[in-house]
Amino acid sequence: MIAVPRAAMRNGIEAVRITGDSMTAGNTETDIKDGDVVLLDTKDTVIKDSRVYVVQIPGVGAVVKRVRFYGTPIDSMMLVSDNTKYAPFAPDEARVVGRVFEIVPKRRGI
């Protein structure tokens, strides 16, 4: 069970528990940490620069990444981790599951 803030409730949301530190950069306001839960708007799949999405990549699985567009044309999209120890990459194929709109922190120390 995941306690979802009432203000975040809407149709088309999914909750995903995060594993790993690729979206942890040392900013307590925006970091997504190992064990946190992110809420996705599965109806928001139109990619916009600098937003964070859950993306399904064949052979890899679901990843949480920030989308960045570099140069032109628009197909120069990269998936970027907030943690700089992970290199940006451009998947050959991907499906956007939804946009992350809320982070529900893991209760630390429990």
Token code pair at residue 14: 């999914």
How far is C-alpha 95 from the geometric centre of its chain's CA atoms?
A: 13
In a domain, 48, yes or no: yes
Q: What pLDDT, on a 0 to 100 scale, did the predictor assign at position 5?
A: 67
Answer whether residue 37 shows pLDDT above 70.
Answer: yes
Token code pair at residue 93: 């194929």
In a domain, 110, yes or no: no
Number of domains within the chain: 1
Peptide bond preceding 58 in cis form (omega within 30 of 0): no
Q: Rounded mean pLDDT of 12-23? A: 92
In a domain, 65, yes or no: yes
Integer Cα distance of 61 and 104 in angstroms: 22
What predicted TM-score, i.e. pTM, was given to this entire model?
Answer: 0.86
State pLDDT tens for residues 39-58. 999 999 999 999 999 999 99
State pLDDT tens for residues 66-85. 999 887 655 578 999 999 99
In a domain, 39, yes or no: yes
How far is C-alpha 38 from the geometric centre of its chain's CA atoms?
A: 8
Give the domain CATH number at 58.
Answer: 2.10.109.10
What residue numbers bound the domain in which 33 lies? 10-104
In a domain, 2, yes or no: no
In a domain, 3, yes or no: no
Assess contact for 79 and 67: CB atoms under 8 A.
yes
In a domain, 1, yes or no: no
Answer whether residue 110 shows pLDDT above 60.
Answer: no
